């Protein structure tokens, strides 16, 4: 792992910021910086899983990552092109799950690609997703989940959209480290993404297909 990833894994907040600042000064792109931080935070996850780190460390890693994002987000937003909105995306983290760092990165990037994003937040009940799909008329719903235990929640939301008669008007993409082709199949989603760029490309392709 690289120095920045190591510093995040070791929860050395000062070092993390020092390295982020140095990279920004060298004109390294915010996305590359986020990717390197992700490597570090994944390592924190592994240390937590193997009981070398505990909840306090997990929380601290989240705080460091959020402070890095506070620095990088405005730089991503600056790139946002002026002009017509590409389309709307409704997004939220499903019930039972409060992870939102990855979701917020996706939102930021979508906005910088001129999407209007309706962020429902974390631990979002099924009915809220259904209501927002209905009232916003969005063509894309994004569900974020980082816990294995929340696969059934994603399925519950998608089933509820179907029951409400809205399934034909909306494409559903699930995202988060736990998602895979198997989870997509289980939940009945249209697509999955383990990274923000794949998600953004999918959203673009959906709205492009509608404008043809």
Residues that bind ligand B12 (CB under 6 A): 38, 41-42, 44-46, 48-49, 55, 58-59, 61-62, 65, 91, 96-103, 105-106, 142, 144, 146-148, 173, 175-178, 193-196, 199
H/E element, 154? helix 151-163
Place of tokens 């059934």: 152
CB of 31 to ligand B12, least distance (A): 9
Please give the full DSSP string across 157-184, using - where no structure is assigned: HHHHHHHTT-GGG-EEEEESTT--HHHH
CB of 88 to ligand B12, least distance (A): 14
**What does the chain come to in residues?**
212
Detail the DSSP E strand segments found in the chain: 87-93, 115-119, 140-144, 171-175, 191-193
Nearer to ligand B12 by C-beta: 19 or 174? 174
Nearer to ligand B12 by C-beta: 82 or 144? 144
Nearer to ligand B12 by C-beta: 59 or 82? 59
Nearer to ligand B12 by C-beta: 19 or 196? 196
């Amino acid at each position: 792992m690289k120095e920045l990833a190591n510093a995040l894994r070791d929860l050395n907040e000062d070092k993390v910021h020092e390295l982020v600042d140095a990279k920004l000064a060298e004109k390294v792109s915010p996305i590359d910086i986020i990717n390197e931080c992700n490597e570090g935070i994944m390592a924190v996850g592994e240390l937590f899983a193997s009981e070398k780190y505990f909840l306090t460390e997990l929380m601290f890693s989240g705080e460091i990552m959020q402070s890095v994002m506070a620095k990088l987000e405005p730089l991503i937003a600056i790139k946002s092109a002026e002009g017509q909105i590409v389309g709307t995306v409704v997004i939220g983290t499903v019930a039972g799950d409060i992870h939102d760092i990855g979701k917020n990165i996706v939102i930021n990037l979508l906005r910088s690609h001129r999407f209007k994003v309706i962020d429902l937040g974390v631990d979002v009940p099924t009915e809220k997703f259904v209501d927002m799909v209905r009232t916003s008329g969005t063509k894309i719903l994004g569900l974020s989940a980082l816990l294995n235990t929340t696969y059934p929640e994603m399925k519950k939301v998608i089933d509820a959209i179907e029951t409400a008669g809205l399934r034909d008007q909306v494409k559903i993409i699930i995202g988060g480290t736990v998602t895979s082709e198997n989870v997509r199949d289980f939940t009945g989603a249209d697509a999955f993404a383990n990274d923000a760029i794949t998600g953004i490309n999918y959203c673009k392709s959906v709205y492009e297909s509608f404008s043809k």
